[in-house]
Structure 1
Amino acid sequence: MRRPNKDSQARLSAESLRLVGSAQAVVQAASRYEERYLERSLDGLLQKVLKGNHQEQIDAALNHLFSNDLAAYDALMEAVEANSESMQLELEENGVAVKYDCILVVAPILAWTRFSIASGAIPADLLATLSMHLQAHMLADGAKLALSPNLYSIDQMPRSHGEAYTLTQRLAQAALKSSTLSPSKKLPEAAPFLADTRYLIAAVAVPHGQPFFRWQMAQHQANFAEVKKIALEAWREQALPNLGRMLPGCGLELLLPEAYYIACREADKAIRPVSVRAAVHFITHTLGRPPEDFCAAIAGFGEEMSEGQVDEYRISFLIKDEPQVVYGVVWPIYGMDEEDAANQGLSPSGARRATVDVICNLLQEAGVTDIKRYSERFAPEYCDDCGTPLFVDLDADLAHPEMPDDTPAGGAHLH
């Protein structure tokens, strides 16, 4: 999604200008060797900025390039993410300094429930068990691992590239020293959703130039896809029963542990259909009605300045023949969705239709077959009192979702 042009070259700091120039130079490289040299130069600039936690300098450079040079924007964003989720450290072994490559890894957990989804400190015995299974099933031989002693919600994850860099450094050093970090006591409260993602975060360290994951090892590269599939199946089989201890009353699905940013993006995409199914399950059980007693309305929402772009779909649930929206789910649209659509040759309107078709299919599979689609785009509005998104009713008016007055107490939020 394009950002508004809030900056200009004249307003950029000297450090931001250097980042802009370096990113543009990478894009204009005429050979692979030249590109690698320029990437190393950009990496050096970014490591200084990240170490000083000067996120504003990175953001200013990204905003400028987003408005003026999308190719350089992509190059800078890729470099920022790479440098905040990975680094090189040295460890003295037998009097010799050995260089290690380190990367921040996330193992996403999709969870859904009618109650609450836990987060926070992981018991020491569970932490040791999960570390053992990650090491045994996912990591390459010789890899060192440090698993964070916290189970994170999205609200508790690093909120900037600088924070991600700091976490990478702390966990990478723990991996090299075979030490364990203490659970954080300052994590914010997790928002109460019925379907949400939880994250195990770890650092993996390997001798310089060696593979991180089992399927990247030389003997597995010829059939890496099959080895990756087997590794994921083994991780799910071993980790699910253990994670059930910390996430009681939840349905769980484990995604492939991968590098920090790609794993988070895959989790963002994967939780959307889970949220739709969880919503239908919740309203049918809470209100004691079968799915066919409900209807749904799907509407696209986007800012007025975004020239027809849909930023999210809001799915309204109503009891048939009753006007009130009883529940709502938000289906956000990400940049990777737009890229996938473009790769499939879909126009923006075609991509919107395809997304709505996916949502409709999920609703129908869950038993809600009376579905209204709105072709017009709505401006995103929220409740002034509680911040809840407003959803479209069957008269195309925006409404606050409210369960009937006689609904049993204790329902969780999902929006």
Structure 2
Amino acid sequence: MAVHRSKSVQRISPESERLVADSISLAASGSQLEDRFWEERLHNRLLKLLKSHHQNIIDTALDQTFRINTVAFEVLADTAETLAESMSLEHDGKTWDALLLAMPIVAHTRYQIPSGPLPVSIVEAAAAAMQKSIAAEGTQLAIIPWLYSIDQMPHSHTQTRSLLETLANAAVSGGDMKLELRDMSETIAVLADPRFILAVIVAPKDQPIFRWQMDGPQRQERGVSLIEWQTAMYEPLVSLLPGCEFELLLPEAYFTNCRLADKHVRPLSIRAAINFLESTLGVLPAGLSAVVGAFGEEQADEYRIAFSLKGSSEVIYGVIWPLYDRETVSSDGLSDVSDEESPIKRICDALHDAGVEDVFRHAVLFSPELCDDCGAPLFPDRQGEVVHAEMPEDSPSQQPLFH
């Protein structure tokens, strides 16, 4: 979701230049008074671009700030996300604040994770649980009757803003949502992936949106709200997700929860791959070897994990561990596991926790190559070659994909 990585240098438009300049000025500001000045200018420029659907101008400015000033990049990225997922609007003389919510369901299975239309009973259960455990008093909701896969979500700031405006108007008016849900893109079949219920919550201007923002006895801590949400939604979702194990995350702002769900699914992808290899080949996790390498053009954008049978150099399966905006790895730290928060340490921990004892780490950055014939990602073997993952000839022909 809105993942921005620096691209090759390209001609920058005057509109992008102004966004870059305002972001750098805001990042360098030394007072709240100056902050407000630059924030107002940046907000106005971005809002105009969002409403006119000029995503390319925003993307170019993000790429430019990423290259020259990482603090300014954070300022610009956060501001663009804020304006895409939140707004104020008037209805019948009353002003409302609106926030686009993502309700993530992080799932894994040996079969297939459903997506598509939500039954009325699920939408009603989600609305009741939201009003009871998550939403502040006086708020209103509009919930989309669709279980989204990552492939079907809005993937740009302009698309997100457009969805926000549609849902916000429905939430304040109580009218129908004018959404076209019939022509959704097809979901890629993977065995570990997030699903999302999307909604907008509206509150009277400057009033609490969530229960943990309220005062007095009505206030409820996030942890309590999460437990109540998980309890209320478990039974309805069990019937919707047969054969799946899943975890519900706390309903929160769209971009934050998209990143959080993607991060939660990464270790599940490793576990799902190991479970698949165990059930398909009859090999215990301790009988597998894993080779981990960082991949990217100029910096690490992802890690690729290659699995082999222990004692063999043949790569039989692979999993990708993507990195996101706020995750960076230095060129001399690609294989360093001394930092508890580093991606490579988390990957190795996930492999060890799943029972894989033999883990080899490459210290070089690989080019993110794909197979010329089928487009599948190539994975590193122990000798440092990037190769196609191939299951043994006597294994089942249908192979699942992993996140």
TM-score normalised by the chain length of structure 1: 0.88
Matches within 5 A, 1:14-413: 15-92=15-92, 97-181=93-177, 184-219=181-216, 227-303=221-297, 306=298, 309-338=299-328, 348=333, 354=339, 355-413=343-401
Deviation at 1:164, TM superposition (A): 0.3
Amino acid at match of 1:42: L
* 1:310-347 CA-partner distances (Å, limit 9, x unpaired): 22211111112333211111112223233xx89xxxx8
Greater shift in the superposed pair: 391-400 or 23-32? 23-32
* 1:248-304 CA-partner distances (Å, limit 9, x unpaired): 11110111211111111111211111111111111101222222222211122222x
Aligned residues: 396
Decide whether aligned partners of structure 1 residues 171 and 352 sit closer, same or farther in structure 2, where only a CA change above 3 A counts: farther
Question: Are the equivalent residues in 1 in contact too, given 2:290–2:360 (CA < 8 A)?
Answer: yes
Task: For 2:54 and 2:383, locate their aligned partners in 1 and report how far apart those are by CA, in whole Å.
Answer: 48
Decide whether aligned partners of structure 1 residues 318 and 46 sit closer, same or farther in structure 2, where only a CA change above 3 A counts: same
Decide whether aligned partners of structure 1 residues 377 and 22 sit closer, same or farther in structure 2, where only a CA change above 3 A counts: closer
Question: Are the equivalent residues in 1 in contact too, given 2:100–2:164 (CA < 8 A)?
Answer: yes
SS at match of 2:376: coil
SS at match of 2:223: helix
Where do 5+ consecutive residues of structure 2 fail to align? none
Matched residue, 2:6: 3
Amino acid at match of 1:124: V
Question: Are the equivalent residues in 1 in contact too, given 2:335–2:363 (CA < 8 A)?
Answer: no
Amino acid at match of 2:309: I
Decide whether aligned partners of structure 1 residues 31 and 185 sit closer, same or farther in structure 2, where only a CA change above 3 A counts: same
Greater shift in the superposed pair: 284-293 or 371-380? 371-380
Amino acid at match of 2:128: M
Question: Are the equivalent residues in 2 in contact too, given 1:115–1:411 (CA < 8 A)?
Answer: no
Greater shift in the superposed pair: 370-379 or 204-213? 370-379
Question: Are the equivalent residues in 2 in contact too, given 1:5–1:67 (CA < 8 A)?
Answer: no
Decide whether aligned partners of structure 1 residues 5 and 301 sit closer, same or farther in structure 2, where only a CA change above 3 A counts: closer
TM-score normalised by the chain length of structure 2: 0.91
Decide whether aligned partners of structure 1 residues 295 and 73 sit closer, same or farther in structure 2, where only a CA change above 3 A counts: closer
Task: For 2:5 and 2:189, locate their aligned partners in 1 and report how far apart those are by CA, in whole Å.
Answer: 30
Question: Are the equivalent residues in 2 in contact too, given 1:146–1:180 (CA < 8 A)?
Answer: no
Deviation at 1:155, TM superposition (A): 0.9
Greater shift in the superposed pair: 314-323 or 118-127? 314-323
Question: Are the equivalent residues in 1 in contact too, given 2:6–2:64 (CA < 8 A)?
Answer: no
* Structure showing the higher helix proportion among its residues: 1
Amino acid at match of 1:75: V
Amino acid at match of 2:48: K
Deviation at 1:124, TM superposition (A): 1.7
Matched residue, 2:13: 12
SS at match of 1:335: coil
Task: For 1:2 and 1:156, locate their aligned partners in 2 and report how far apart those are by CA, in whole Å.
Answer: 21
Question: Are the equivalent residues in 1 in contact too, given 2:306–2:319 (CA < 8 A)?
Answer: yes
SS at match of 2:316: strand
Greater shift in the superposed pair: 77-86 or 351-360? 351-360
Decide whether aligned partners of structure 1 residues 336 and 64 sit closer, same or farther in structure 2, where only a CA change above 3 A counts: closer
Deviation at 1:350, TM superposition (A): 7.7
Task: For 2:280 and 2:26, locate their aligned partners in 1 and report how far apart those are by CA, in whole Å.
Answer: 56
Deviation at 1:202, TM superposition (A): 0.7
Task: For 1:358 and 1:29, locate their aligned partners in 2 and report how far apart those are by CA, in whole Å.
Answer: 36
Amino acid at match of 1:153: S
Task: For 1:367 and 1:5, locate their aligned partners in 2 and report how far apart those are by CA, in whole Å.
Answer: 41
Question: Are the equivalent residues in 1 in contact too, given 2:127–2:143 (CA < 8 A)?
Answer: yes
Greater shift in the superposed pair: 202-211 or 260-269? 260-269
Q: CA RMSD in A?
A: 2.4
Task: For 1:358 and 1:274, locate their aligned partners in 2 and report how far apart those are by CA, in whole Å.
Answer: 12
Decide whether aligned partners of structure 1 residues 334 and 210 sit closer, same or farther in structure 2, where only a CA change above 3 A counts: same
Question: Are the equivalent residues in 1 in contact too, given 2:335–2:361 (CA < 8 A)?
Answer: no
SS at match of 2:56: helix
Task: For 1:154 and 1:133, locate their aligned partners in 2 and report how far apart those are by CA, in whole Å.
Answer: 23
Decide whether aligned partners of structure 1 residues 184 and 351 sit closer, same or farther in structure 2, where only a CA change above 3 A counts: farther
Task: For 1:125 and 1:2, locate their aligned partners in 2 and report how far apart those are by CA, in whole Å.
Answer: 41
Greater shift in the superposed pair: 35-44 or 25-34? 25-34
Task: For 1:39 and 1:71, locate their aligned partners in 2 and report how far apart those are by CA, in whole Å.
Answer: 15
Where do 5+ consecutive residues of structure 1 fail to align? none
SS at match of 1:337: coil
Task: For 2:245 and 2:111, locate their aligned partners in 1 and report how far apart those are by CA, in whole Å.
Answer: 11
